[in-house]
Amino acid sequence: MEEKDISRREFLRQLGIGAGSAIAMLAMNPLYALAIDKKQKDKDTDEKAMTYRVQNGSGELISLLGFGMMRLPNDQEQVNTLVDYAIEHGVNYFDTAPMYMGGQSEVLTGNALARHPREKFYVATKMSNQNNRSWSFDASKRMYERSFERLKVDYIDYYLLHSIGGGMETLKGRFLDNGVLDFLLKEREAGRIKHLGFSYHGNVGDFDYLLDRQDEYHWDFVQIQMNFLDWRHASLRQGRRHDADAEYLYNKCEKAGVQCVIMEPLRGGAFGRMAPELTEKLKAVHPDDSTARWAFRWVGSYDNVLTTLSGMNLMEHLEDNVKTFSPLVPCSESENKLLAEIADQMAGFPTIPCTTCAYCMPCPYGVDIPGNFAYYNQAVNEHVLPLPDAGSSDYSSRKQQFTEGYRAALPDEKTWASRCQDCEVCLSKCPQQIRIPDQMARIVETLRKK
């Protein structure tokens, strides 16, 4: 197919085949299903088209770039502008949840999408009943029904059990013993849910339990955290306990015939803040490419990835990401080798594996948990930390640099790590399983060193 934008109908007419045959053909080579449904105002431009993947069960064409709606600007007009640009440039998968922005994300997303024809977008939301007070069937059902109201839809395209991984007791309490999963399976059967899946964080026993029952549950997709660092280093990252690397999760989904939706492809922005010497290795190969583009290309190179979520609250991020996926250029063997080497080096850095999702917030004592971790990791990547021995020649200067930088990054003392009271309220909320109070104590100890 020529690299130009044409409608689905015209594409099929030129091929002289029916829709079913076309879908079968694209499924054989989903990476290059380019711009079949994209409309463009100026047909004379040479802009290339969004890359799509074929959803196995329905034949739907899903943009390989998905719009994560967790950190939206709290302004409807700004959100409308972002959504309009995304849809105009081929993005059609929008991911939100009741817990994002305290429910405001679903409202903003619903208002923005409602201005477009229903067939132009696929919306994903979740059963976010993490709080044990919402584990009852009635409370969970109310959450489910509110999502329809906020999103202004009469069916949800992709619905997820949110944040699986708290252990079997939690899994049973949230979804199994209370009848919630049985209810959602019936909702899919009735057509109010088109595709049912779950998002995974943490305890691999929960992941295995659900996926090993594929014959019973018939999952349509699974959302996993996957990037070139977590591919083989997720279970070893300092400060958390993950029982499985992304390589295991992806391969098990592929063997089960379940497509993957990818979250945290940029590791919460960590790849944009890599150590300078690592960034230079990438620049030596592609001087004009950002580390984000490398990370997206790596994820998109895997055929069983249905879509790759990116939180894009700034137009410049959205525009750059659209260019990366229009079309996506898969990583070569040598590029994959380079990224694996960089991942090995990154895994040796004593950073805290926070993705700045802010699920842990608010802290009852006012600590800015993501802000503290972000600065600490910056100091590690800039080789200010770890501090050398007290007797070394540069100990004092690096200690002063860390302290001054910390106060500049967190000017309000009420947000400092020293305010942590080890209450552990944050622990059950963290999808990365970080021992947050322990890491706060580590920051305090570094600041107190003489």
Q: Is CATH 3.40.50.300 the right assignment for the domain spanning 29-35+47-347? A: no
pLDDT at position 39 over 50: no
Among 34-48, 268-282, 320-334, the range with the most confident prediction by mean pLDDT is 320-334
pLDDT value for 37? 38
* 133-144 tens-digit pLDDT: 779 999 999 999
Is residue 173 classed as helix, strand or coil in its secondary structure? helix
pLDDT at position 27 over 70: no
pLDDT at position 265 over 70: yes
| Token pair 């899903």: residue | 62
Query: Helix (H) and strand (E) counts for the chain?
Result: 18, 11
β-bridge pairing 259-263 and 305-311: parallel
Q: What is the pTM of this model?
A: 0.83
Can you name the residues that pair with 156 across neighbouring β-strands? 193
Alpha helices in 70-179 (DSSP H): 76-88, 104-113, 137-151, 168-171
- Going through 280-326 in order, the beta strands assigned E by DSSP cover 305-311
**Whether 197 contacts 93, CB under 8 Å:** no
Structure tokens at 192: 């109010």
* Mean per-residue pLDDT over the chain, rounded: 87
- How far is 433 from 149, CA to CA, in rounded Å? 32
- How far is 246 from 339, CA to CA, in rounded Å? 15
Average pLDDT over residues 217-232: 96
Average pLDDT over residues 406-419: 93
Higher pLDDT, 391 or 50: 50
- How far is 25 from 219, CA to CA, in rounded Å? 23
For residue 125, the surrounding DSSP H or E stretch is strand 122-127
Among 267-271, 371-375, 378-382, the range with the most confident prediction by mean pLDDT is 371-375
Is residue 406 classed as helix, strand or coil in its secondary structure? helix
Q: Where in the chain is the domain with CATH 3.20.20.100?
A: 29-35+47-347
pLDDT value for 47? 53
Q: How many other β-carbons are positioned within 10 Å of the β-carbon of residue 286?
A: 12
